[in-house]
Chain A
């Protein structure tokens, strides 16, 4: 089945220790999104790729970076995680033919 896969599902890191979250998709969608979702809140868009074009949200901290080496994969790098970065990180994809976004299961990040 076509899907959005996120690894790992759970990630524990230490304060200030860089961490990388990964997302892959078999939908062949050209748009990929990274969201941060904290408890009882709506997903907050961090950035998205339209093909290889990177689009950063104005309020996304510099601590968050992303890479998209090919159509199928996208990575979220948190350079120096703080306690406030503990959250669920969601990857989503969409086709440029419509607005529907397909979400992965998320990675739950814990910062100790």
Chain B
């Protein structure tokens, strides 16, 4: 059972455009929602994360929008650049201490055309 559903599976955007990736979750106990960026042959790197007490978080060109009632969150990449071409994973987490682990979306492959 996929607890975090991510869409689209792949995305092609022109340079300077806006990339939008969406995730939906089921478990209302989730309290941490990160986005990871992964380049080929590298480990995932945390891009930006949000907690459910805020509806939006912005860091540079990257923004997370969070809709608690709809149980959805999305990543917006403004002014997309070819260097942003990577795979993006959303995730969600709950629990504490020994029980804490990330539940991952299936990933979105983003290609930004020059």
Contacts and interface: CB of A to CB of B under 8 A. Distances in A.
Interface of A: 4, 31, 33, 40-43, 45, 48, 50, 53, 55, 90, 92, 94, 96, 98-106, 108
B72 interface: no
Contact of A99 (B98, B102, B106): B102
15 contacts: A4-B43, A33-B101, A42-B89, A43-B104, A48-B101, A50-B97, A53-B98, A90-B43, A90-B44, A96-B100, A99-B102, A103-B36, A103-B45, A104-B43, A108-B41
A106 B42 contact: yes
A41 B2 CA distance: 13
A99 B96 CA distance: 8
B49 interface: yes
A4 B104 CA distance: 21
A102 B44 CA distance: 8
A64 B107 CA distance: 25
Interface of B: 32, 34, 36, 41-46, 49, 89, 93, 96-98, 100-102, 104-107, 109
A100 B44 CA distance: 12
B49 to A, nearest CB: 7
A43 B105 CA distance: 9
A103 B93 contact: no
Nearest to A105: B43
A94 B91 CA distance: 15
Contacts of A98: 32
Contacts of B44: 43, 90, 103
Contacts of B101: 33, 45, 48
A98 B93 CA distance: 10
A43 B98 CA distance: 19
Given A55-B98, A99-B100, A42 B106 contact: yes
Contacts of B98: 50, 53, 55
A38 B23 CA distance: 21
Given A42-B89, A48-B101, A96-B97, A106 B107 contact: no
